[in-house]
Amino acid sequence: MQRTTARFRSIPPLRLIALSACALLAACTIAPPTHHVAPRVNALSTPRHVFLVVLENEPFQVTFGAHSPAPYLAHELPKRGALLTQYFAIGHYSLDNYIALISGQAPNPETQEDCKTFSEFRRSAPGFDADGQIRGSGCVYPADVKTLANQLQEAGFTWKGYMEDMGRDPNREAAACAHPAIGAVDHTNAATAQDQYADKHDPFVYFHSIIDDRANCAAHVVTLDELPRDLQSIATTPNFSFITPNLCHDGHDAPCKDGEPGGLVSADKFLREWIPQILASPAFKQDGLLIITFDEGVDAAACCGETRPEGAPEPGQFGPGGGRIGAVVISPFVQPGTVSDIQYNHYGLLRSVEDWFDLPHLGYAGQKGLRAFGSDVFNRTDTAQGAKP
């Protein structure tokens, strides 16, 4: 395997500096600050069809160890792309990591508890801080908190969230843009034998900037069953696809309500079914990039100078982060068999996607010094061969 290593120095937190400056000015930012977009690695290594698959709750050493219960993920897929050995989650539990992946917003006390009630976000201060963070606590973010989905659509790109099992039980949730009423208890946090969809693994429905346009949301937050049809042509494949397996197939439950073993065994089975379809698609072969990672690990380790807003809880509840989880990246632009030991986290992944589409950085994706995927990942020059499924 080709290995890329680098010494990485933690970036000193800038939060106190930003807040001191804000106090001297007597007012903080009313709108989220716009951060400059970093230049791409080069024009030839710019993905235009990005697929993100998020699994659940495993540390790197278990997932990618020699005796991994997921041999397809741990051993076969890295041979086709890059294994990021120092990729970290940003908090605990699930939902705050999903929120971070599409908005750059840090954990708050309610997202850390997976929002058992679908409550409105309550601001503790107007506007945003210097890092683009909204202050306060709650689940459904105000309309002025934008997401990667909003950015892509406004820039003329396409996106979809593909949610396995969403709407399988129509008495439980809708088949598109599914979420409880504001203020209602979320009954999807636990699976049933018939329906194992969970709102907490569907970050798009926690933003008024998405759900307030019901028709637009329903056209973009859809069931996983739509993916095979969309993969048939480049024109029908979204520029950004966020893929969430159900509570069994993402490894969250073990055993599962339907009798499957769950955990990494069922997650690996899911990947064996779906990843070949993605890799064989015309869009992936042309300019695709697939990322497979996890929401969180089992400890509170962090990287990359991760910080938090003033007064916010520790992102990992009992520590600064969400643990080391690892990631696999496959693309025609990535040399098969690459291993990178450079540190990344969910905010850095968001920053990377924004850079590929020339979008401003949201929230902590714009943190000074944060690393986006670089030449340790985009290291293939013979891209005409592409990645073979």
Residues 6+ apart with CB under 8 A from 161: 149, 202, 203, 204, 220, 221, 222, 241, 242, 244
CA–CA separation, 293 and 245 (whole Å): 12
- Average pLDDT on 194-198 reads 98
- For 54, phi then psi, to 5°, come to -115, 120
CATH number attached to the domain at 2-6+13-366? 3.40.720.10
Residues 6+ apart with CB under 8 A from 172: 187, 188, 192, 195, 197
CA–CA separation, 306 and 267 (whole Å): 28
Residue 164 has pLDDT above 70, yes or no: yes
Domain limits, the chain? 2-6+13-366
Tell me, rounded to whole angstroms, the distance of Cα 88 from its chain centroid. 12
Place of tokens 């509170």: 300
CA–CA separation, 212 and 200 (whole Å): 18
Residue type (1 letter), 354: E
Residue type (1 letter), 98: Y
Q: How many CB atoms lie within 10 A of CB 190?
A: 11
State pLDDT tens for residues 94-103: 999 999 999 9
235 beta partners: none
CA–CA separation, 294 and 260 (whole Å): 20
State pLDDT tens for residues 201-248: 999 999 999 999 999 999 999 999 999 999 999 999 999 999 999 999
Q: For residue 135, what are its two tokens?
A: 């202050």
Place of tokens 């990039």: 289
State pLDDT tens for residues 345-364: 999 999 999 999 999 999 99
Predicted confidence at residue 381, as pLDDT, reads 79
